């Protein structure tokens, strides 16, 4: 039985500081009338300006088939902002000021004439807004459109290859949305195609989960507190659980989900990136490439599982009613749930299982990492019943919702008898610091404008992740096993609980 114990945050030291507002630039949003731009990108940019984080010389240029009607575009984005802004109600005066920065170009993404008009329009914006030719280009398009868009951007002179660019010239940074490839072979092809147009330092492969406050705080918690790093290894940690659970199903995205499934949609990017941050070695500095070097080492060290599903290390599930969703095959074997036991073959983590779990239509919406420490080596408290009441310590990082950190410890229950109970020390960012954490896209867009690639995936990270997950996907497809059907609103397939039970462990409850 546990009880809450509130922690107060010490705000005296101040936040980890970066440079202030970035320099002048244009944010070029491909597919500006699409779902991602309306729900996330435009609201993030609007809020950044509302808080004074954007430079004075800044503009947004949208590209889509219907973006040429600027007034209609601004009106549509304003209506979307009302629906999706995390800071409702929207300040209309602030929106009017921000929307004046938005213009658009309409056209087909495959036609060179579109890019010629786009280049001319960008030059006009540079003149009018003083943006100095600096470009943040966000490709919120299907992966199949990346090569064509990049090639056309280069031919139109909108982007330059690294060998042509120098520090005295305007910068270009291109943000590419997941999924970056469909498997290892396609990821390598996309990487090579991107590198024919841009240098690696100009490519920002985005995973919005890395913009979450708790994910970033993994750095500070481990390397800013002397009590944790000495315990962060196989000597003290029994196992690690990483969970991403959603309550919703595919919600009209059945056709897309049939092609991806939970492994490609969640595990290959979100969960493996979080795993790498949690398990990496201390970097020699806080520079982007030093951190990404350490993450790549972890992903490279993942133990291969070519026959994982046959060895009982992986459980697949499909929620009840998935096959009745629009766009889903009536005999679909696409998994909507996966649970697996992974191992990192290096000195620090040898023998420590990392349990990954992700799924749709589950009991609650939660993304978290929990570090389960080893049991005490010897019980001093007399009878066996008292000793059985002592649960191992658990350090839990909640990524969403209610971002925060909690720690479970043992404590004596007040009274004459020696009775031991669990106490949870807990804090939430909003309660501790008096403000909500910024939205993930706000942080990531700002970092991209500053040229800080710390929270973006590098080419080798992407390919190591695909090398691990592709072989599991191939084993699933080769085996032809039916995924276990689980009830909507449950904690997933019974076989997932059995996976940990066989190891003498159990999942953290989904709430």
Q: Which two tokens stand for residue 429?
A: 């960012």
In sign, the C-alpha dihedral spanning 161, 167, 170, 172 is positive
**Which residue intervals of 34-178 are DSSP H helices?**
35-36, 42-50, 70-84, 92-99, 112-129, 146-155
CA pair distance 345, 279, nearest whole angstrom? 11
User: DSSP of 321-367, one letter per residue?
Assistant: TGGGSTT--TT----SEEEEEE-B-STTTTT--EEEEEESSBSS-EE
CA angle in degrees (0–180, nearest 5) for 464-469-475:
135
CA pair distance 70, 178, nearest whole angstrom? 28
Q: Give me the residue label for tokens 């590098």.
A: 458
What residues are labeled active site? 270
Contact by Cβ (8 Å): 4, 431: no
**Which of helix, strand or coil describes residue 467?**
helix
CA pair distance 501, 341, nearest whole angstrom? 12
Non-local CB neighbours of 335 within 8 Å, separated by 6+ positions: 261, 262, 263, 316, 317, 318, 476, 483
Using omega within 30 degrees of 0 as the cis cutoff, is the peptide bond preceding 93 cis? no
Contact by Cβ (8 Å): 458, 200: yes
CA pair distance 157, 211, nearest whole angstrom? 31
CA pair distance 110, 492, nearest whole angstrom? 43
Q: Which two tokens stand for residue 401?
A: 């919702």
CA pair distance 357, 242, nearest whole angstrom? 6
Selection from 438, 356, 366, 351 nearest residue 400 by Cα: 366
């Amino acid at each position: 039985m546990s009880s809450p114990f509130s922690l107060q945050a010490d705000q005296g030291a101040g936040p980890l500081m970066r440079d202030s507002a970035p320099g002048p630039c244009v944010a070029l949003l491909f597919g500006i009338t699409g779902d991602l731009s309306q729900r996330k990108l435009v609201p993030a940019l609007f809020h950044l300006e509302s808080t004074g984080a954007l430079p004075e010389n800044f503009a947004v240029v949208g590209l889509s088939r219907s973006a040429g009607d600027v007034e209609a575009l601004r009106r549509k984005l304003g209506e979307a902002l009302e629906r999706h802004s995390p800071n409702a109600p929207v300040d209309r005066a602030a929106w009017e000021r921000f929307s004046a920065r938005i213009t658009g170009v309409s056209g087909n993404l495959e036609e060179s004439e579109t890019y010629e008009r786009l280049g001319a329009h960008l030059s006009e914006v540079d003149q009018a807004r003083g943006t100095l030719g600096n470009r943040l280009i966000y490709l919120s398009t299907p992966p199949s459109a990346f090569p064509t868009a990049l090639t056309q951007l280069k031919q139109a002179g909108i982007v330059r290859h690294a060998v042509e660019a120098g520090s005295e010239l305007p910068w270009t940074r291109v943000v590419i949305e997941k999924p970056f490839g469909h498997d290892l072979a396609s990821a390598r092809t996309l990487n090579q195609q991107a590198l024919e147009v841009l240098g690696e330092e100009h490519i920002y492969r985005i995973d919005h989960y890395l913009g979450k406050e708790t994910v970033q705080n993994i750095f500070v918690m481990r390397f800013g507190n002397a009590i944790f790093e000495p315990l962060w290894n196989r000597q003290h940690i029994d196992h690690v659980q990483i969970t991403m659970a959603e309550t919703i199903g595919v919600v009209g995205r059945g056709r897309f989900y049939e092609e991806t499934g939970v492994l490609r949609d969640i595990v290959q990017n979100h969960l493996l990136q979080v795993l790498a941050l949690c398990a990496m070695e201390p970097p020699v500095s806080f520079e982007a490439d030093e951190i990404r070097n350490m993450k790549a080492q972890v992903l490279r060290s993942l133990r291969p599982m070519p026959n994982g599903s046959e060895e009982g290390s992986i459980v697949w599930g499909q929620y009840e009613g998935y096959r009745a969703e629009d766009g889903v095959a009536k005999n679909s074997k696409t998994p909507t749930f996966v649970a697996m036991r992974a191992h990192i073959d290096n000195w620090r983590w040898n023998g420590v299982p990392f349990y990954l779990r992700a799924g749709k239509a589950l009991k609650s919406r939660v993304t978290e990492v929990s570090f389960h420490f080893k049991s005490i080596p010897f019980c001093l408290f007399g009878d066996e019943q008292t000793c059985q009441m002592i649960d191992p310590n658990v350090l839990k990082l909640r990524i969403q919702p209610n971002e925060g950190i909690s720690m479970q410890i043992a404590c004596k229950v007040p009274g004459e008898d020696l009775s031991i109970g669990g106490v949870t020390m807990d804090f939430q960012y909003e309660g501790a610091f008096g403000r909500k954490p910024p939205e993930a896209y706000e942080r990531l867009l700002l970092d991209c404008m500053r040229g800080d690639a710390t929270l973006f995936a590098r080419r080798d990270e992407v390919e190591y992740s695909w090398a691990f997950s592709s072989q599991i996907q191939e084993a699933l497809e080769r085996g032809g096993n039916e995924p276990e059907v689980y009830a909507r609103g449950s904690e997933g397939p019974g076989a997932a609980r059995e996976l940990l039970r066989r190891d003498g462990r159990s999942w953290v409850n989904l709430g």
